[in-house]
Amino acid sequence: MSSLLSRQARSATTSAIRDLLEHAQRPGMISLAGGLPDPARFPVEELATIAERVLRDDGRRVLQYGLTAGERDLRDHIVATTAAAASAEEVVITTGSQQGLRLLAHVLIDPGDRVVVADPEYLGATQAFAQAGGLPVAFPTDADGLDVDAVETALTDGLRPKFVYLVPHFHNPTGATLAAERRRRLFELADRYGFMVLLDDPYRELYIGANAPDEDDPHPMAVHLRSTSKVLAPGLRIGWLIGPAWLTTAVERSKQAVDLHTSTVAQAIVLAALRADWFPPHLDELRAATGEKRDALCRALDDALGERISFTRPGGGMFVWAALEGVDTTTLLAPALERGVAFVPGGAFAIHRDLADHLRLSWATASPDELSEAVSRLAAALDDL
Ligand code: PMP
């Protein structure tokens, strides 16, 4: 009966990473595969206290249906704390930033429209765009992020995309941050050629040391996607998008048909957490742990694999994007899983490029000791090949 499925559903592919994660949950496995935040760092006690208070003090309100755009007090808080948001009308609370991507794809893309992405790119985004009928036009990236020169050349040659999608800080999977000069030029191009720039920024708070991102200036062609998944807990499923009112109005209409609104209880919990005294020190601890784990992973890679591996040390986030010259990392995966370490082969993120010798390693979930053990296992798996 699957012939009853719509054309769109029949052509939809499943994310290679979500499938892989099932294997990565075997006992004893150290997973460098998923971008799962470390559960040891979830502020469980603090959130339990808040949840109890929110329900006891304000239960009759937060258990009721809410506004599609999201609770007004949370949107006001976002406007007060985010330079890119000028008014609550420019903010829509979404069920994770992933829903923001889906909604934006739905309201911006007609089947056959071009959308610019990086190669490699975050799978959840390319999946959302493809399901709306968008055709990805992918450009290479380097340590400074998307190759904006290459985008400009394509625009000069006639490319007219609906939007350019970007993970501006600590990109998934490459870990790269878009250089300020490239970003400035990209917005000039957006003004000239009339496309939107989607800045999907869930890792911006996870900077290490002096790599704090600059505040985003408001720009009429910009849409910002933010998330509490990496700084509080992904299970809350709270994110938001900030964009011009013509766009947020369309997003709101689309969201009405998807889920009426994002959980009002979760929104109330998140607002109280963002305002809590413990939140800034919690962020500081997360950043310190991020630095410690990045260093542990990079050190282990240097020590155990030396010349065999090449990678750039990211300034934050969760991921090291590495190349093992001459190794097909999809073939490496089986012996690696056998030895108890999981990673994502680079090809999973490729759009047009051949990235078969790359792999994405996440330091997010494992402890520093586990990270170094995982790299020893990876080195042993390489020897098995
Ligand atoms: N964008 C990027 C770049 C991501 O890496 C992720 C999660 N891995 C998301 C969006 C979705 O995050 P969420 O829906 O939990 O906010």
- Residue pLDDT, tens place only, 280-290: 999 999 999 99
For 375, the token pair is 């790299």
Ligand 1, atom nearest to 239 Cα: 16
DSSP letter for 207, please.
B
Q: Whose C-alpha lies nearest to ligand 1, atom 11?
A: 98
Q: Are 23 and 32 in contact (CB under 8 A)?
A: no
Listed residue (254, 256, 262) closest to 108, CA to CA: 254
DSSP letter for 223, please.
E
Ligand 1, atom nearest to 238 Cα: 16
Ligand 1 centre to CA of 383 (Å) is: 34
Residue % of the chain over a pLDDT of 70: 98
Please give the Cα distance from 123 to 129 (Å, whole number). Answer: 10
Q: Are 201 and 168 in contact (CB under 8 A)?
A: yes
Ligand 1 centre to CA of 104 (Å) is: 14
| pLDDT for the residue 385 | 86
Please give the Cα distance from 365 to 368 (Å, whole number). Answer: 10
Q: What is the mean pLDDT of residues 240-244?
A: 98
Task: Specify the range with the lowest mean pLDDT, choosing from 33-37, 51-55, 150-154.
Answer: 33-37
CA 251 to chain centre: 20
122 lines ligand 1 (CB under 6 A): yes
For 225, the token pair is 């996607």
Listed residue (319, 273, 354) closest to 47, CA to CA: 273
124 lines ligand 1 (CB under 6 A): yes
| pLDDT for the residue 227 | 98
Asked whether the predicted pLDDT for residue 34 surpasses 90, the reply is no
Ligand 1 centre to CA of 241 (Å) is: 12
Ligand 1, atom nearest to 234 Cα: 15
Asked whether the predicted pLDDT for residue 272 surpasses 90, the reply is yes
Asked whether the predicted pLDDT for residue 13 surpasses 90, the reply is no
Q: Are 381 and 335 in contact (CB under 8 A)?
A: yes
- CB proximity list for 358: less than 8 A, separation 6 or greater: 120, 321, 322, 323, 324, 329, 345, 346, 347
Cα Rg of the chain (Å, integer): 21
Asked whether the predicted pLDDT for residue 59 surpasses 80, the reply is yes
Cα separations in angstroms, 159 against 21, 48, 132: 36, 51, 19
Degrees to nearest 5, angle at CA 201 with 138 and 300: 85
| pLDDT for the residue 16 | 63
Best probe residue, ligand 1, of 98, 129, 224, 225 (max atoms within 8 Å of C-beta): 98
For 98, the token pair is 């992933």
| pLDDT for the residue 231 | 97
Helix (H) or strand (E) holding 136: strand 135-142
| pLDDT for the residue 8 | 82
Packing angle between helix 264-275 and helix 279-305, nearest 10 degrees? 90
pLDDT in tens, 327-369: 999 999 999 999 999 999 999 999 999 999 999 999 999 999 9
CA 47 to chain centre: 23
Asked whether the predicted pLDDT for residue 9 surpasses 70, the reply is yes
Q: Whose C-alpha lies nearest to ligand 1, atom 9?
A: 98
Ligand 1, atom nearest to 101 Cα: 10
**Residue found by looking up tokens 């310190």 in the block:** 288
Please give the Cα distance from 373 to 377 (Å, whole number). Answer: 6
Best probe residue, ligand 1, of 97, 167, 178, 230 (max atoms within 8 Å of C-beta): 97
Asked whether the predicted pLDDT for residue 15 surpasses 80, the reply is no
| pLDDT for the residue 20 | 65
* Global confidence as pTM: 0.95
202 lines ligand 1 (CB under 6 A): yes
Asked whether the predicted pLDDT for residue 22 surpasses 80, the reply is no
